[in-house]
Structure 1
Amino acid sequence: PITAKRGVVLAAGDYSSAPEMIGRFKGDRFKTIEGVNPKACGDGHLLAERAGAQLLNMDITYGPELRFVPPPGDPFEQLLPTRGLFAKLLGRLVPLLPQAIINLRIKRLLLTWQHPENSLFDDGAILVNAEGQRFCNETDSPAREIAISEQPGKAAYILLDERIAAFYSQWPYFISTAPKIAYAYVDDYLRLRPDVSVAGDSLETVAAQRGINAVNLKETVQQFNQYVTGAQSDAFGRTDDECPLTGKRWVLLGPAKSYFTTTEGGVAINAGLQALDERGQPIPGLYAIGSNGMGGQILWGHGLHIAWAITSGRLVGELLGRELNQNRE
């Protein structure tokens, strides 16, 4: 057994990859959806709960959202050191690099982490599974993400015809973005992420490149076009599309999956970062920080979870350090 003399600080991350916990607090229909971080298993939350701590906002999550699967291996930037002399040297060299090189590296990372824009589907793109068949109303989220997680391999592909591919090849229509930093268009994906993007002059060509049933894919497009032209209603309840899928250039993006990125639930805490029980009383010796110690906060915004992890960790360290010094005196 592990014992602690002065206290326990829970800093074990979120529960985006804890399907049982997700199902318990958010609903069973979300249990099939994966987390971006496979190690975010909610261990700290479970430990706190078993110690009698109160959990807050456990049903609130970032996602599910549609994201392309990560590339094989780690991006070059993630292999670089984050501390030490070499890291300091790199920090001094980066401002001297041409902006074009910096933009290229940023765009590569953007294509690794960001999600495709929902506007793709508003403008006529469709989702197909590995069998080349549609399976949902692509404009209805989170039902769309739940449906994707129930497909073979929990994956789907986004099909763009010539019109949509041209549309999303220049500003202001982009496949994905990190706002005010970089924007990624169709050709960026074809150049930088060939593992999740293919193009061809026919449906058969793009289907073959991804091992998708071409007969099914052609039938899927025909059925979608029947709905668009008013010959029939859409089997999945989609409405308001006006342009059939057609042309001499087709782009298939994927595989893409449904993911939870982070979760907002956490242990109730006081200003001293002590875990609180159901009556709001501190549990002696138990502290929670970062995603474990959210304390009822909802952090909608880029970087705020990192900021809270750093801030709460520093605060609890200072607090425990003062207590240690007082005890020595």
Structure 2
Amino acid sequence: MHAKPLMKAFDRAAAVASAVRTVGTEQAGLTALAAALDNGLSEPFARAVETISHISGRVIVTGVGKSGHIGSKMAATFASTGTPAFFVHPAEANHGDLGMIAKDDAIIAMSWSGETQELKGIVAYSRRFAIPLIAITSGEASALARASDIVIVLPRVAEACPHGLAPTTSTLMQLVIGDALAIALLEARGFTAEHFRTFHPGGQLGAKLTKLGEIMHTGERLPLVPSGSRMGDAIIEISRKGFGCVGVIGEEGALKGIITDGDLRRHIDADLLAMPVDDVMTCAPKTASPDTLVASALQIINASSITTLMVVDKGRPVGIVHMHDLLRIGAA
């Protein structure tokens, strides 16, 4: 039966107070979960990570209702962080999808009560073929817990729902324990940002995992003048290359400094064109290496309030990246 529209005036203060209570209740749930991990939950959690890290197959996540929705997200997080995984709905498993599960896999079964009837088929299948079964449940003595090889028992805490019925705090804890498993496995496998990019080639995330060496301007596009040059030559180079700056290099080709539009404004004078670049340049400018991820470069640019970043290799300028380059690839 659908809720009827409110007949009385909407109380904004009450809505905000409700939100604060919900956040507080769910925070309390996460606090209880953290405390459990510091105590008895640490041993089964570590065993689950060890078990999954040693399988040659995939992680099969299963669950019904809200646990199933969380399970789908858990499987997606595993898969994107280097642990092959997919979600199998228990009802579909009972009608043929059990064939998707192999002996070298591991199963994570999620049920808050641990008495979900729909899980019986997949649990029995795991026992028949000796497939590792990891339960995530609050029912320590439940049927699911008794059948499983490893049981991650989540603490029983109050739901944010005032009636104690709608899964809220409980599903949040399921979500967090899934993330904790995924990150522990990621770290155990030495999964790097480069690996992460392999699974996320598109969108802003893929752009941020691009290296500067792939997008930087090089060769004749580099705005450079030698140390000892006059500012007149530097200004011509700034205008010709169009990056709003010019790098100053020493005899060995190393980057000594940089002159930006801001440096020009600070040194406006009738004698500016005749001044040596060394008197105007900013020494020790912000730089990055060709292997620097775009995400890191973006952080440097934002933190330093600059628009360009010189890319150096062993102290020598090899490229330049402008904020517009990051916008062009969708990283900013």
The bucket for the TM-score relative to the shorter chain is: under 0.3
Higher helix share: 2
- Which structure is larger by alpha-carbon Rg, 1 or 2? 2
TM-score by length of 2: 0.24
